[in-house]
Amino acid sequence: MGDIKKLLITGASGFLGSRLLEMLLKESYSPVVYLRQSSDTWRIKNLQGDYEIFIAADNSESSIQKLFDEHEIEGILHIATEYGRQKSLSSIIETNVLFPLRLIEAGLKRGLKLFINTDTFFGKKQFDLQYLSDYTTSKRVLEGLLNGLASKLTIANLRIEHVYGENDSESKFVTSVIKQAILNNDEILLTEGLQKRDFIYVDDVANAYISVLKYGNLTHGYNEYEVGTGISIRVKDFVTGIANTANSKSNLNFGAIAVRAGEIEDSSANITALTQLGWAPEYDMNKALKKIITAEKKRFAYENGI
- Bridge partners for 8 per DSSP: 32, 76
**Catalytic residue (choose from 29, 51, 135, 209):** 135
Q: Is residue 135 annotated as a catalytic residue, yes or no?
A: yes
DSSP SS3 for 161: coil
Residues 6+ apart with CB under 8 A from 158: 116, 117, 118, 119, 208, 209, 212, 225, 227
DSSP per-residue string spanning 168-230: --TTSHHHHHHHHHHTT-SEEEE----SEE-EEEHHHHHHHHHHHHHH----SEEEEEEES-S
**Would you call 156 exposed, middle or buried from its count of C-beta atoms within 10 A (0-12, 13-18, 19+)?**
buried
DSSP per-residue string spanning 218-286: --SEEEEEEES-S--EEHHHHHHHHHHHTT---EEEETSSPPPTT---B-----HHHHTTT------HH
Taking only Cα atoms into account, the Rg of the chain, rounded to an integer number of angstroms, comes to 19
Which backbone phi and psi does 198 adopt, to 5 degrees? -95, 90
Q: Which of 227, 232, 247, 248 is nearest to 285 (CA)?
A: 232
DSSP per-residue string spanning 96-135: IIIHHHHHHHHHHTTT--EEEEEEEGGGSTT---GGGHHH
Active-site positions read 135
